Amino acid sequence: MSQMTPGARFRAALDANRPLPILGTINAYTALMADKVGHQAIYLSGGGVANASFGLPDLGMTTMNDVVEDAHRICGATELPLLVDIDTGWGGAFNIARTVKEMQRAGVAAVHMEDQVAQKRCGHRPNKAIVSQQEMVDRIKAAADAKIDPDFYLIARTDAFQKRALTPPLSGPMPVWKRGRMPSSPKRCIPWMTTRLFCQRVNAPILANITEFGATPLFTQQELGDVGCRMVLYPLSAFRAMNAAALQVYQSILDNGHQKEVVPLMQTRDELYDFLNYHDFEQKLDALFAEKGDDQ
């Protein structure tokens, strides 16, 4: 077991990687797979919790307790530092403080919080509304004051990039670099140099959210690192692949009356056991029964 706190492990991974890829893990088992593959940081998406755990759209319909429960399960399965999406913090200053404390108690290493209004929308959807700059500052202060571990990592996310009609170089009525640390859904039509400028103007590590089928081009880690991005987030990549494979299996069984055609899509039993360290548990169980037999 590592003696470092989750926040310290996240900061160490950030220092060791430029940029640091952060992989979305929808549950404890996918977190185990990301760990064994060799990744150094993982993520729990608020939209992913709504979609996967509750069958709901990402419209602020889940609660802090819903997300904390999934985060707690993931942190119980791996020591990889976990970044969690806490949406708007689920309320005012006291609610935000409670959220940050509960996340730390669950073993979470870092969170990001956004500047949308409480009735939020997915970051890649239109018609979002954002709070005032001062309200977002108050949210961040409430979160920072609630840190138990001084290394617990806070990321401020802004939707101002899409919301405001900014002209290069981000010179709108409220420059977006005054807003946040994590721009959500920048479009390729904004000059690439603008992204570099954002990284230069904000005196903090920048996280780029590289999600599929959204408004953001799928820039590579090399491209993002070259302009100064320090973290690259893949929030739901594995989840989308899992869903597509599952749908093929369901459809094939319905159409054919068996699963033979889709077996190549599946993880084998041996592979499953390997990720779970199944045989280690079984050997301990065998040893326990052997000891009981000797006592009789």
- Residue 133 CB neighbour total at 10 angstroms: 15
Q: Tell me, what's the pLDDT at 126?
A: 53
- Tokens for 249, please give them: 């299996």
Sign of CA dihedral 206, 109, 243, 52: negative
- 8-state DSSP, 268: P
In the three-class reduction of DSSP (H, G, I as helix; E, B as strand; rest coil), residue 256 is classed as: helix
Check residue 70 and give its pLDDT: 98
Type of residue found at 276: L
- pLDDT of res. 114: 83
- Give me the residues paired with residue 70 across strands: none
Q: What is the rounded distance in angstroms from the CA atom of residue 24 to the CA atom of residue 138?
A: 28
Residue 49 DSSP code: I
Answer yes or no: are the C-beta atoms of 166 and 172 closer than 8 Å.
yes
pLDDT at site 161: 63
pLDDT at residue number 159: 72
CA gap 44, 25 in Å, rounded: 6
According to DSSP, the residues that pair with 85 across neighbouring strands are 112
- Whether the model clears a pTM of 0.75, i.e. scores above it, the answer is yes
| Tokens representing residue 78 in the block | 């791996």
**How far is residue 179 from each of residues 37, 139, 149, 198, measured CA to CA in Å?**
35, 12, 25, 11
How does pLDDT run along the chain (296 residues), one tens digit per residue? 668 999 999 999 999 999 999 999 999 999 999 999 999 999 999 999 999 999 999 888 899 999 999 999 999 999 999 999 998 999 999 999 999 999 999 999 999 998 775 666 565 555 567 778 888 889 999 999 999 999 999 998 887 665 543 333 333 333 333 444 454 554 544 435 666 777 888 888 989 889 999 877 889 999 999 999 999 999 999 999 999 999 999 999 999 999 999 999 999 999 999 999 999 999 998 888 887 666 65
Using the Cα atoms of residue 49, residue 51, residue 55 and residue 57 in order, give the sign of their dihedral. positive
The whole-angstrom separation of Cα 208 and Cα 219 is 9
User: 128: left (phi > 0), else alpha (psi -120 to 50), else beta?
Assistant: beta
Q: Which residues pair with 23 in a beta bridge?
A: 42, 234
Give the Cβ contact number of residue 246 at 10 Å: 12
